[in-house]
Amino acid sequence: MSLREPPTWDGPSGDPDDEQFGDIVEPTTLDDASEFDAVFIGEPYDGAVIGRRGAREGPGALREALAGVKTHRFGAGPVRSVGDLGDVEVPDGDVSTVQEAILETTHEIHASDALPVSLGGDNSLTYPNAAPLLEGALGVINFDAHLDCREVHGEPTSGSPYRQLHEAGLDAYACVGARHFETSTAYADYIDDQGGEIVTSEAVGDDIESAVERALDAMAGVETIYVSVDLDVLDAAAAPGVSAPTPGGITTRELFRMLRATAGDDRVAGFEIVECAPPLDAGAQTAAAGARAIAHFLSGYNGDSP
Protein backbone atom coordinates (compact mmCIF):
# COMPACT_ATOMS: atom_id res chain seq x y z
CA MET A 1 0.00 0.00 0.00
CA SER A 2 1.28 3.46 -0.84
CA LEU A 3 -0.04 6.65 0.73
CA ARG A 4 1.40 10.14 0.52
CA GLU A 5 2.10 11.94 3.76
CA PRO A 6 -1.15 13.52 4.97
CA PRO A 7 -1.45 17.30 4.96
CA THR A 8 -1.47 19.38 8.11
CA TRP A 9 -4.91 20.81 8.83
CA ASP A 10 -5.50 24.33 10.12
CA GLY A 11 -8.69 26.26 10.80
CA PRO A 12 -8.44 29.65 9.07
CA SER A 13 -10.51 31.59 11.63
CA GLY A 14 -8.68 33.90 14.00
CA ASP A 15 -11.42 33.57 16.64
CA PRO A 16 -10.33 31.00 19.27
CA ASP A 17 -14.00 30.07 19.84
CA ASP A 18 -14.51 29.23 16.17
CA GLU A 19 -13.71 25.53 16.18
CA GLN A 20 -13.44 24.36 12.58
CA PHE A 21 -12.63 21.05 10.92
CA GLY A 22 -9.17 22.44 10.30
CA ASP A 23 -8.73 22.45 14.08
CA ILE A 24 -9.85 18.87 14.75
CA VAL A 25 -8.69 16.75 11.78
CA GLU A 26 -5.37 15.10 12.62
CA PRO A 27 -2.85 13.57 10.21
CA THR A 28 -2.56 9.86 10.96
CA THR A 29 -1.27 6.54 9.67
CA LEU A 30 -2.99 3.25 9.04
CA ASP A 31 -1.48 1.84 12.22
CA ASP A 32 -3.25 4.53 14.25
CA ALA A 33 -6.43 4.83 12.18
CA SER A 34 -8.51 2.91 14.72
CA GLU A 35 -8.03 5.74 17.21
CA PHE A 36 -10.48 7.80 15.11
CA ASP A 37 -14.18 7.42 14.32
CA ALA A 38 -13.49 8.30 10.68
CA VAL A 39 -10.44 8.73 8.46
CA PHE A 40 -10.07 10.61 5.18
CA ILE A 41 -8.27 9.17 2.18
CA GLY A 42 -7.72 11.29 -0.92
CA GLU A 43 -8.00 9.74 -4.38
CA PRO A 44 -6.63 12.20 -6.96
CA TYR A 45 -7.67 10.44 -10.16
CA ASP A 46 -9.95 11.23 -13.10
CA GLY A 47 -8.59 8.96 -15.81
CA ALA A 48 -11.87 7.09 -16.21
CA VAL A 49 -14.22 10.06 -16.57
CA ILE A 50 -16.86 10.02 -19.29
CA GLY A 51 -17.00 13.69 -20.17
CA ARG A 52 -15.16 16.62 -18.60
CA ARG A 53 -12.15 15.93 -16.41
CA GLY A 54 -10.87 17.78 -13.36
CA ALA A 55 -11.81 15.48 -10.46
CA ARG A 56 -8.17 14.60 -9.79
CA GLU A 57 -8.01 17.96 -8.02
CA GLY A 58 -11.04 17.15 -5.88
CA PRO A 59 -9.31 15.87 -2.71
CA GLY A 60 -7.33 19.08 -2.22
CA ALA A 61 -10.34 21.30 -2.86
CA LEU A 62 -12.56 19.32 -0.50
CA ARG A 63 -9.95 19.48 2.27
CA GLU A 64 -9.47 23.22 1.78
CA ALA A 65 -13.20 23.88 1.86
CA LEU A 66 -13.81 21.61 4.87
CA ALA A 67 -10.98 23.15 6.90
CA GLY A 68 -12.98 26.35 7.31
CA VAL A 69 -16.33 24.68 8.12
CA LYS A 70 -17.44 24.92 11.76
CA THR A 71 -17.70 21.60 13.62
CA HIS A 72 -21.00 22.42 15.37
CA ARG A 73 -24.47 21.33 14.21
CA PHE A 74 -27.56 22.62 16.01
CA GLY A 75 -29.16 19.97 18.19
CA ALA A 76 -26.19 17.64 17.88
CA GLY A 77 -23.07 19.49 18.95
CA PRO A 78 -19.62 19.24 17.40
CA VAL A 79 -18.12 16.56 15.18
CA ARG A 80 -15.06 14.93 16.74
CA SER A 81 -12.43 12.26 16.11
CA VAL A 82 -11.41 12.56 12.44
CA GLY A 83 -8.03 11.57 10.99
CA ASP A 84 -6.46 12.02 7.57
CA LEU A 85 -4.40 9.24 5.98
CA GLY A 86 -3.29 11.35 3.04
CA ASP A 87 -3.69 10.63 -0.68
CA VAL A 88 -3.22 7.28 -2.36
CA GLU A 89 -0.36 7.03 -4.81
CA VAL A 90 -2.16 6.51 -8.12
CA PRO A 91 -0.06 4.31 -10.43
CA ASP A 92 0.47 4.89 -14.10
CA GLY A 93 -1.51 2.58 -16.32
CA ASP A 94 -5.02 1.83 -17.50
CA VAL A 95 -8.16 2.09 -15.37
CA SER A 96 -8.08 -1.58 -14.35
CA THR A 97 -4.53 -1.17 -13.07
CA VAL A 98 -5.56 1.86 -11.02
CA GLN A 99 -8.60 0.06 -9.60
CA GLU A 100 -6.49 -2.93 -8.57
CA ALA A 101 -3.95 -0.69 -6.82
CA ILE A 102 -6.65 1.27 -4.98
CA LEU A 103 -8.36 -1.99 -4.00
CA GLU A 104 -5.20 -3.18 -2.28
CA THR A 105 -5.17 0.03 -0.25
CA THR A 106 -8.86 0.05 0.63
CA HIS A 107 -8.71 -3.56 1.84
CA GLU A 108 -6.22 -2.46 4.46
CA ILE A 109 -8.18 0.63 5.44
CA HIS A 110 -11.46 -1.28 5.83
CA ALA A 111 -9.63 -3.70 8.15
CA SER A 112 -9.28 -0.86 10.69
CA ASP A 113 -12.11 0.16 13.02
CA ALA A 114 -12.39 3.65 11.54
CA LEU A 115 -14.95 4.64 8.92
CA PRO A 116 -13.16 5.28 5.60
CA VAL A 117 -14.22 8.58 3.99
CA SER A 118 -12.88 8.72 0.44
CA LEU A 119 -12.34 12.12 -1.17
CA GLY A 120 -12.53 11.73 -4.94
CA GLY A 121 -11.62 11.53 -7.59
CA ASP A 122 -13.86 10.05 -10.24
CA ASN A 123 -16.70 7.57 -9.87
CA SER A 124 -14.71 4.61 -11.24
CA LEU A 125 -13.04 4.35 -7.82
CA THR A 126 -16.36 3.49 -6.19
CA TYR A 127 -15.64 -0.08 -7.22
CA PRO A 128 -12.36 -0.50 -5.30
CA ASN A 129 -13.65 1.66 -2.44
CA ALA A 130 -16.65 -0.58 -1.79
CA ALA A 131 -15.42 -3.98 -3.02
CA PRO A 132 -13.65 -5.00 0.23
CA LEU A 133 -17.07 -5.01 1.91
CA LEU A 134 -18.34 -7.69 -0.51
CA GLU A 135 -16.94 -10.31 1.85
CA GLY A 136 -20.31 -9.95 3.62
CA ALA A 137 -23.76 -9.01 2.35
CA LEU A 138 -23.29 -5.46 1.02
CA GLY A 139 -25.73 -2.79 -0.04
CA VAL A 140 -24.90 0.57 -1.64
CA ILE A 141 -26.89 3.79 -1.38
CA ASN A 142 -25.82 5.96 -4.28
CA PHE A 143 -26.77 9.64 -4.31
CA ASP A 144 -26.36 10.30 -8.01
CA ALA A 145 -28.01 11.73 -11.10
CA HIS A 146 -27.04 8.53 -12.96
CA LEU A 147 -27.19 4.80 -12.31
CA ASP A 148 -23.57 4.20 -13.40
CA CYS A 149 -24.17 0.59 -14.39
CA ARG A 150 -22.82 0.63 -17.92
CA GLU A 151 -21.33 -2.55 -19.31
CA VAL A 152 -17.55 -2.64 -19.34
CA HIS A 153 -16.30 -2.68 -22.92
CA GLY A 154 -12.53 -2.84 -22.66
CA GLU A 155 -11.72 -0.66 -19.66
CA PRO A 156 -14.00 0.39 -16.79
CA THR A 157 -15.22 3.99 -16.75
CA SER A 158 -16.80 6.39 -14.30
CA GLY A 159 -20.11 5.07 -15.62
CA SER A 160 -19.52 1.38 -14.81
CA PRO A 161 -18.77 0.93 -11.06
CA TYR A 162 -22.15 -0.50 -10.10
CA ARG A 163 -22.11 -3.00 -12.97
CA GLN A 164 -18.73 -4.13 -11.64
CA LEU A 165 -20.02 -4.36 -8.08
CA HIS A 166 -23.14 -6.25 -9.12
CA GLU A 167 -21.06 -8.73 -11.09
CA ALA A 168 -18.81 -9.17 -8.04
CA GLY A 169 -21.77 -9.99 -5.80
CA LEU A 170 -23.43 -6.74 -4.64
CA ASP A 171 -26.57 -7.66 -2.71
CA ALA A 172 -28.58 -4.41 -2.77
CA TYR A 173 -28.52 -1.07 -4.56
CA ALA A 174 -30.49 2.16 -4.32
CA CYS A 175 -29.92 5.28 -6.41
CA VAL A 176 -31.33 8.44 -4.84
CA GLY A 177 -31.67 11.60 -6.92
CA ALA A 178 -31.71 9.94 -10.35
CA ARG A 179 -32.79 12.35 -13.10
CA HIS A 180 -35.29 11.73 -15.86
CA PHE A 181 -33.69 11.76 -19.34
CA GLU A 182 -30.21 11.13 -17.94
CA THR A 183 -30.24 7.31 -18.09
CA SER A 184 -30.81 4.90 -20.98
CA THR A 185 -33.68 2.45 -20.77
CA ALA A 186 -31.29 -0.51 -20.86
CA TYR A 187 -29.63 0.62 -17.63
CA ALA A 188 -32.90 1.33 -15.85
CA ASP A 189 -34.01 -2.17 -16.85
CA TYR A 190 -30.73 -3.61 -15.57
CA ILE A 191 -31.23 -2.11 -12.11
CA ASP A 192 -34.82 -3.36 -12.09
CA ASP A 193 -33.58 -6.85 -12.98
CA GLN A 194 -31.11 -6.68 -10.08
CA GLY A 195 -33.90 -5.76 -7.66
CA GLY A 196 -32.51 -2.25 -7.15
CA GLU A 197 -34.43 0.84 -6.07
CA ILE A 198 -34.46 4.07 -8.10
CA VAL A 199 -35.62 7.21 -6.28
CA THR A 200 -35.84 10.16 -8.64
CA SER A 201 -34.92 13.73 -7.77
CA GLU A 202 -38.61 14.60 -8.13
CA ALA A 203 -39.52 11.95 -5.56
CA VAL A 204 -36.99 13.49 -3.18
CA GLY A 205 -38.58 16.91 -3.67
CA ASP A 206 -42.08 15.53 -3.13
CA ASP A 207 -41.32 13.66 0.11
CA ILE A 208 -37.78 13.57 1.43
CA GLU A 209 -38.58 11.25 4.35
CA SER A 210 -40.17 8.72 2.02
CA ALA A 211 -37.15 8.93 -0.28
CA VAL A 212 -34.81 7.99 2.56
CA GLU A 213 -37.13 5.22 3.73
CA ARG A 214 -37.21 3.72 0.23
CA ALA A 215 -33.42 3.69 0.06
CA LEU A 216 -33.03 2.11 3.50
CA ASP A 217 -35.83 -0.40 2.84
CA ALA A 218 -33.86 -1.54 -0.20
CA MET A 219 -31.00 -2.40 2.17
CA ALA A 220 -33.09 -4.95 4.10
CA GLY A 221 -31.04 -8.05 4.86
CA VAL A 222 -27.58 -6.66 4.14
CA GLU A 223 -24.82 -6.66 6.74
CA THR A 224 -23.04 -3.48 5.66
CA ILE A 225 -23.95 -0.32 3.75
CA TYR A 226 -21.64 1.79 1.62
CA VAL A 227 -22.77 5.36 0.89
CA SER A 228 -21.63 7.22 -2.21
CA VAL A 229 -22.27 10.84 -3.20
CA ASP A 230 -21.62 11.84 -6.79
CA LEU A 231 -21.91 15.62 -6.59
CA ASP A 232 -23.75 15.70 -9.90
CA VAL A 233 -26.80 14.60 -7.88
CA LEU A 234 -27.12 18.28 -6.98
CA ASP A 235 -28.75 20.71 -9.36
CA ALA A 236 -26.26 22.31 -11.72
CA ALA A 237 -26.86 25.68 -10.07
CA ALA A 238 -25.52 24.28 -6.79
CA ALA A 239 -22.74 22.10 -8.23
CA PRO A 240 -21.41 23.33 -11.56
CA GLY A 241 -17.97 21.82 -10.92
CA VAL A 242 -18.73 18.23 -11.91
CA SER A 243 -18.18 16.22 -15.04
CA ALA A 244 -21.84 16.34 -16.13
CA PRO A 245 -23.84 19.17 -14.52
CA THR A 246 -27.52 19.24 -15.49
CA PRO A 247 -30.68 20.97 -14.26
CA GLY A 248 -33.35 19.18 -12.26
CA GLY A 249 -31.20 17.92 -9.40
CA ILE A 250 -31.80 17.88 -5.67
CA THR A 251 -30.93 20.79 -3.41
CA THR A 252 -28.00 20.91 -0.99
CA ARG A 253 -30.43 21.04 1.92
CA GLU A 254 -32.16 17.87 0.72
CA LEU A 255 -28.84 16.10 0.30
CA PHE A 256 -27.57 17.11 3.74
CA ARG A 257 -30.75 15.93 5.46
CA MET A 258 -30.72 12.57 3.67
CA LEU A 259 -27.05 12.04 4.46
CA ARG A 260 -27.61 12.59 8.19
CA ALA A 261 -30.47 10.10 8.16
CA THR A 262 -28.53 7.52 6.16
CA ALA A 263 -25.38 7.85 8.25
CA GLY A 264 -27.38 7.01 11.36
CA ASP A 265 -27.80 3.40 10.23
CA ASP A 266 -25.36 1.34 12.29
CA ARG A 267 -24.49 -0.84 9.27
CA VAL A 268 -22.74 2.01 7.45
CA ALA A 269 -19.13 0.97 6.78
CA GLY A 270 -17.87 3.46 4.21
CA PHE A 271 -18.56 6.84 2.63
CA GLU A 272 -17.27 8.75 -0.39
CA ILE A 273 -17.60 12.04 -2.24
CA VAL A 274 -16.78 11.75 -5.94
CA GLU A 275 -16.68 13.93 -9.06
CA CYS A 276 -15.67 17.20 -7.42
CA ALA A 277 -13.81 18.93 -10.26
CA PRO A 278 -12.34 22.28 -9.14
CA PRO A 279 -11.18 23.42 -12.63
CA LEU A 280 -14.83 23.24 -13.73
CA ASP A 281 -16.24 24.95 -10.64
CA ALA A 282 -17.57 28.47 -10.16
CA GLY A 283 -16.48 30.25 -7.00
CA ALA A 284 -15.57 26.92 -5.37
CA GLN A 285 -19.26 26.31 -4.66
CA THR A 286 -19.15 22.61 -5.61
CA ALA A 287 -16.27 21.98 -3.22
CA ALA A 288 -18.17 23.92 -0.55
CA ALA A 289 -21.22 21.71 -1.07
CA GLY A 290 -19.08 18.56 -0.95
CA ALA A 291 -17.32 19.67 2.22
CA ARG A 292 -20.59 20.33 4.00
CA ALA A 293 -21.97 17.02 2.79
CA ILE A 294 -19.03 15.37 4.59
CA ALA A 295 -19.74 17.38 7.74
CA HIS A 296 -23.43 16.44 7.75
CA PHE A 297 -22.65 12.77 7.15
CA LEU A 298 -20.11 12.66 9.97
CA SER A 299 -22.58 14.36 12.30
CA GLY A 300 -25.19 11.72 11.51
CA TYR A 301 -22.63 8.92 11.78
CA ASN A 302 -21.84 10.04 15.31
CA GLY A 303 -25.39 9.16 16.25
CA ASP A 304 -27.29 12.42 15.75
CA SER A 305 -29.22 12.13 12.51
CA PRO A 306 -32.37 14.37 12.67
Domain ranges of the chain: 21-301
Return d(Cα 256, Cα 251) in angstroms, integer.
9
- Cβ pair 205, 250 in contact under 8 A: yes
Q: What integer pLDDT is reported at residue 216 of this predicted model?
A: 98
- Cβ pair 287, 281 in contact under 8 A: yes
Return d(Cα 9, Cα 6) in angstroms, integer.
9
Q: What integer pLDDT is reported at residue 277 of this predicted model?
A: 97
Q: What integer pLDDT is reported at residue 2 of this predicted model?
A: 82
Q: How far apart are the first and last CA of the chain?
A: 38
Q: What integer pLDDT is reported at residue 1 of this predicted model?
A: 52
Which pTM does this prediction carry? 0.96
Instruction: List, run by run, the mean pLDDT of 10-residue segments along the chain (306 residues).
Output: 89 96 97 96 96 96 98 95 96 94 94 95 97 97 98 95 98 98 96 98 98 98 97 98 96 98 97 98 97 98 60
Q: What integer pLDDT is reported at residue 215 of this predicted model?
A: 98
Return d(Cα 139, Cα 141) in angstroms, integer.
7
Q: What integer pLDDT is reported at residue 305 of this predicted model?
A: 45
Return d(Cα 69, Cα 11) in angstroms, integer.
8
Return d(Cα 55, Cα 48) in angstroms, integer.
10
CATH 3.40.800.10 fits 21-301, yes or no: yes
Return d(Cα 166, Cα 289) in angstroms, integer.
29
- Cβ pair 164, 246 in contact under 8 A: no
